Structure 1
Amino acid sequence: MRPSRAITAPTIGLGEVWPSPRADISSARAMHCRSNALQLLCSILPIFAANVANIPAFAKAMKRIEFRRLLRSTLAPLVPPEELHDHEALIVEYLLGCQLPDLLLRPEMPVPDGAVPRLESVAKRLARHEPVQYILGYAYFYGRRFRVTPRTLIPRRETEELCQLVLQTYAATPPLHGLDLGTGTGCIAITLSLENPRLRMHAGDLSPAAIDVARRNAQDHALDLELSVLDLYTFAPPSASYDFIVSNPPYIPMRERQRMPSRVLDYEPHAALFVPDGAPLAPYQAIARLAATALRPGGHVFLELHEDLAEQARAYYLQEGFRGVRVGYDAQGKARFLVAHLG
C-alpha cells in the first residue's frame, strides 16, 4: 500500500494495535497543521463566494458548465494538479448524481438544488486535508464502488495490481479457496470473487469495525463473503485449508511518518499503515508461518510490500523453503509485490 496515491487507492487494516491516526502527532505539529488548514480555509472561502457571486441566481439557475467552473476554481488551491481531474469526477458524481462525461455532454442542464452549499461544505473539509474518499464515504477500486470509513484504508491502485497478479495466476482453474489477510474494506476479496467466481474467499481483519465495512461492501455487491475477526499473528486454521493467501499488510516503517502527507497521517488508520522500525518484516514472517501449514501443496502467497523491503522479504521466503519466490513491480516501476509458492 502506497498512501501517496490517494484517489483510487492499499487497502487493508490489520487491526487497531498502533496508536490512533492523531495520537502520535506532536502537539506542535498538530498546531501547525491546524494553523495551515485555517489559513487555507480563510483564503478559499472568499474565492468561493466571489465565484458564486458571478453566477446569477446561482442556487436554481446554475448550469452544469457553470458548476464545473466553480468546482475547478474551488479545487485548484486544495488538491495537487495531478489529482484535480479525479477529485472533480468524484465530486461531480457525489453532488450532481452524474458522471463527468455526462456533465460535459449536457452542459446546459441545471444542477440540483443545494449543490453549491454542499460543495462549500466539501471544500471546507478538503481544506483540512481530509481525503475526499472519507468525505464522500466511498472510493472506487477495480471499477467498483466500495464504502470507506476512517477505520479502513482507502483502496489504492497498487492493490488493484495485486489483484491482477492473483487473477492472472488463476485465470483458468478449478474452484479454489483463498484467504485475504487484513481485508479492510474487503476490496481484495470481493474483487477476486467477482472477477473469478471460482475463487471462494475468506476475508479476515483484526478490526471489528473494518469487518463491518467489508460486510456492507459484500452486501452492496450481492456477495456471500466469509468474514472473520482474526489476528494475523495468532490465527491457526486447520492444515491445508487454503489454496492461496493474499495480503496487503502494514509495511511502512514508523520512522517514515513525518514524511507522509497530513491527509494520510492525520486521517487513515495507523494500524493498517505502520510497522515497528525494528521489525519491518514481522507481518511477512507471520504470513510465512501461517502459509507453511494453512496452504495446500503448491499453494501461493501474494503480498504487497514496501519497495525497500522487497529483497529482504524475498530472501526470508527462500530461507523458509518457498519456491518460485519473485518480486513484482508496480506501474511506477517500484518493487511492490512478492509472489511465492509451497513446493
Structure 2
Amino acid sequence: MNLKETQKKFHKTLSEIYPKSEIDTFFYWIVEDVLQLKRIDVSLNPDFEINEKDLKTIKSQMNRLQQNEPIQYILGHTEFYGMHFQVNPNVLIPRPETEDLVNWIVSDLKHQPKKHLLDIGTGSGRIAIALKKELPKCEISAFDISETALQMASENAKQNEVKINFVQQDILKLDSLPEDVDIMVSNPPYVRVLEKEQMCDNVLKFEPHQALFVKNNDALVFYRKIIELAITSSKCKTVYFEINQYLKEDLKKLIQPYDINKIEFRKDFRGNERMLKLLID
C-alpha cells in the first residue's frame, strides 16, 4: 500500500471520530515517526510504497486512535516549549497553556540573580526542564508523589541536557520547605470530579487521574497547602500557579485570610484565566 492509499484509509477509518484537520495532523505525525518522512515528502511522493512491517505499525496506531488514545501516548513523545519530551500514561500530556506559565516566570526572572525554584507535581518534568533551559543559572528542584513519573522526568531532563534535583514527595504530607527555596511553581491537580462529564474520553480513559482530579468539596487542597508552606517559609516569597479558570473566585476567597502582599491573575493564549502569581510578605 502506498502513502496516498494509506492516507485515504486513515480518513475513512477515523472520520466519524475526529475532524479532517486533526486526522491529517495525526497521519503526518505517524508517518514522520514511523517512516521518517516529512509532510512535504508525503506530498511529493504519494506513490511511495510502505513495507509490510511499517504498514502494520501504522495500522496499529490508527486502531489505537479509534479507541481515543492520545496521539502523544501512541508515539511516546511530544513537544513542549520547543523541546522533545517522552510521555506515557503515568504522566499528563504537556499542554500549550502551560507554556504561558513558563513564559511568565522566565520574563520575571531572566534579569534576576540566581534563584532556587521548586516545581511541585512535576509529572513529565516539562515546567522544571523548560525553566532550567531558559534560566540556566537557577537551581531547579522538582517534587512528585509518583515514582514512575519521576523516572520519566529524569529521562526527559537527561535527554534535554539539564540537571534537575528530582525528589519523590507527597506535598500534602510535607511540613516545611527546604530552607533555600526562593520560588515555587505548581500545576497541581485542580479538576473537580463533577467536571468529568464535560471531559473527552482521550483524557478520562488514558491520562492519570491522580494528576488531574480533586474532590468536589475540597478542590483547592493543593493550593492551600502550597500557600501555607510559602507563608511559613523564611525565604520563599513568590508562588506561581496554573489554575482552573472556573475556580478563580474560590481562589480569591482562599487567599484572603493570608498575609499576601499581591495577587495577579493572567490569561492564557486562549483568553482564559489560567495563571496566578502570589507575592508573600
TM-score in terms of structure 1 length = 0.75
Q: 2:241 — aligned with what?
A: 303
Quick one: distance in 2 between partners of 1:150 and 1:181?
A: 19
Q: Which moved more, 1:244-253 or 1:192-201?
A: 192-201
Change (3 A) 1:121 1:238: closer
Cα deviation, 1:165-203, whole Å, max 9, x if unaligned, reads 111111212211100000000011001111221232101
Q: 2:272 — aligned with what?
A: 334
Quick one: distance in 1 between partners of 2:128 and 2:24?
A: 28
CA contact (8 A) 1:96 1:112 kept: no
Q: 1:281 — aligned with what?
A: 220
- Answer yes or no: is 1:152 the counterpart of 2:106: no
Q: 2:34 — aligned with what?
A: 95
Change (3 A) 1:238 1:304: closer
Q: 1:120 — aligned with what?
A: 59
Q: CA deviation at 1:162?
A: 1.2
**Aligned ranges 1:166-315 → 2 under 5 Å:** 166-238=105-177, 240-294=179-233, 296=235, 299-315=237-253
Q: Which moved more, 1:206-215 or 1:140-149?
A: 140-149
Quick one: distance in 2 between partners of 1:242 and 1:99?
A: 44
Cα deviation, 1:266-296, whole Å, max 9, x if unaligned, reads 1111111111011011110011011123462
TM-score in terms of structure 2 length = 0.91
Q: CA deviation at 1:102?
A: 4.6
Q: 1:31 — aligned with what?
A: none
Q: Find the partner of 1:323 among 253, 261, 265.
A: 261
Q: Which moved more, 1:227-236 or 1:181-190?
A: 227-236
Quick one: distance in 1 between partners of 2:97 and 2:41?
A: 28
Q: CA deviation at 1:74?
A: 4.2
The total of aligned residue pairs comes to: 281
Quick one: distance in 2 between partners of 1:180 and 1:232?
A: 11
Taking CA–CA contacts closer than 8 Å with sequence separation of 6 or more, which of the two structures ends up with the larger relative contact order?
1
* Structure 2 residue runs without a partner (length 5+): none
Change (3 A) 1:305 1:97: same
Q: Find the partner of 2:73 among 134, 137, 141.
A: 134
CA contact (8 A) 1:180 1:204 kept: yes
* Structure 1 residue runs without a partner (length 5+): 1-57
Percent identity (aligned): 32
Q: CA deviation at 1:111?
A: 4.5
State the AA in 1 paired with 2:194. R
Quick one: distance in 2 between partners of 1:154 and 1:249?
A: 14
Quick one: distance in 1 between partners of 2:257 and 2:38?
A: 50
Quick one: distance in 2 between partners of 1:137 and 1:171?
A: 32
Match of 2:118, SS? strand
State the AA in 2 paired with 1:271. Q
Q: CA deviation at 1:134?
A: 1.2
State the AA in 2 paired with 1:317. I
Cα deviation, 1:22-52, whole Å, max 9, x if unaligned, reads xxxxxxxxxxxxxxxxxxxxxxxxxxxxxxx
Quick one: distance in 1 between partners of 2:221 and 2:20?
A: 37
CA contact (8 A) 2:177 2:229 kept: no
Q: Which moved more, 1:234-243 or 1:206-215?
A: 234-243
Change (3 A) 1:89 1:159: farther
Quick one: distance in 1 between partners of 2:60 and 2:246?
A: 39
